Chains A and B, each alone.
Chain A
Amino acid sequence: MKNSFDEKILEEANDWIKTNQKVVLATVIQTWGSSPRQTGSRMIVNEKGDFSGSVSGGCVESAVVRECVAIIKEKKLFKKIEFKVSNESAWEVGLACGGEIAVYLEQIN
Chain B
Amino acid sequence: MQLKTLQEIIKKKENKSEFAIVTNLATGNSEIFEKGKSLSKDFEKFTDQINTFYQSKKNGIIEGTDIFVEIYIRPIKVIIVGAVHIAQYLVNFASSLNFEISVIDPRGYFATEQRFPNMKIINKWPDEAFKEIETDSNTALIALTHDPKIDDPALQHAIKKKFYYIGALGSKKTHENRCERLKKAGFSDKEIKQIHGPIGIKLGGRAAPEIALSIIAQLVSETYKK
Q: Could you list which residues of chain A lie within 8 angstroms of chain B, going by C-beta atoms?
A: 1-8, 10-11, 13-14, 17, 25, 27, 29-30, 38-40, 77-78, 80, 104, 106-109
Contact B61–A106 (Cβ < 8 Å): no
CA distance A94 to B18 in the complex (A): 35
Q: Name, among A2, A17, A107, the residue most crowded by chain B CB atoms within 10 Å (CB to CB).
A: A2
CA distance A7 to B123 in the complex (A): 30
Cβ–Cβ < 8 Å partners of A107 in chain B = 1
Contact of B60 (CB < 8 Å), options: A30, A78, A104: A30
Q: Could you list which residues of chain B lie within 8 angstroms of chain A, going by C-beta atoms?
A: 1-3, 6-7, 9-10, 13, 23, 25, 28, 30, 57, 59-61, 68, 70-71, 73, 75-76, 96-99, 138, 164, 220, 223-224, 226
Cβ–Cβ < 8 Å partners of A39 in chain B = 59-60
Interface SS, B side: mixed
With CB as the reference atom, state the residue of chain A lying closest to B222. Answer: A1
**Nearest chain B CB to A103's CB is how many angstroms away?**
11
**Nearest chain A CB to B23's CB is how many angstroms away?**
7
**Nearest chain B CB to A30's CB is how many angstroms away?**
6
